[in-house]
Homo-oligomer: A and B are copies of this chain.
Amino acid sequence: MAQAQTAVSERQDTQQLILDAAEAVFANNGFDGATTRAIADEAGVNSALIHYYFRSKERLFEAVFARRSGAINDRRRRLKDALFASGGTPALEELLDAFLRPTIELGRDEEHGGHNYTRLLVHVATGTDERSRRMTGQQYDAIAIEFVDAILKIVPGLTRELAVWGYLQGVSVGVILMARTGRAADLSAGECRDDDVEEVIARARTFIAAGIRALADPEKTTTKKPNQKEETTT
């Protein structure tokens, strides 16, 4: 699509074209479903160039996954540090906003392909295969520990173990919301819309903050099963 006549600011080198195309094709088809030929076609380049710039399909995939993770986590860290900069302790809702905003906003950015990355991230972050676990850990473990530490500073009565669980359960909410599966609309006859970034973030923020605070309440975290009679089929 991008020809030599386009403005300088829109010019992209071949490597970026391939990364953008790969991001879209991997997001739509997964690693195994995507083909290097389809990526080359999407990028408008010769398929041999993929192996020239990236050694293999595997390395291309890892490059795509790593490309945006730095920007996401830099922004999360900047927002979080700004909250603590004045010396006080921010509200839990503010901390969660700092965590959620970069990915939720990216998931609504169709102009620069951000929505493709978030769909890919959902796939990798929820995968149980060895490659998914390795890549998720490499790119997102450090920021995870920073936010767990921050949660511990803000919420009294929370053990580190419970903070990790609260963080992960919160992440799972954010993961689903950044991908826009359209399921909310399906279940509500179109009443629920997921295109308003501020509303999506506000709901997730409220939900997760209350959930984490509840985990700190020792009365609530007993493992006793509530009284239930499992009725047999009548």
Residues of A with Cβ closer than 8 Å to B? Answer: 27-33, 74-75, 78-79, 81-83, 85, 91, 93-94, 97-98, 119, 122-123, 126-129, 133, 136-137, 141, 144-145, 148, 160-162, 164-169, 171-173, 175-177, 179-184, 186-188, 191-192, 196, 198-199, 201-204, 206-215, 217, 220-233
Contacts and interface: CB of A to CB of B under 8 A. Distances in A.
Nearest to A203: B165
Copies of the polypeptide in the assembly: 2
Contacts of A224: 198, 202
B164 A168 contact: no
A154 to B, nearest CB: 13
A111 B148 CA distance: 35
A75 B27 CA distance: 34
A220 B176 CA distance: 21
A122 B126 contact: yes
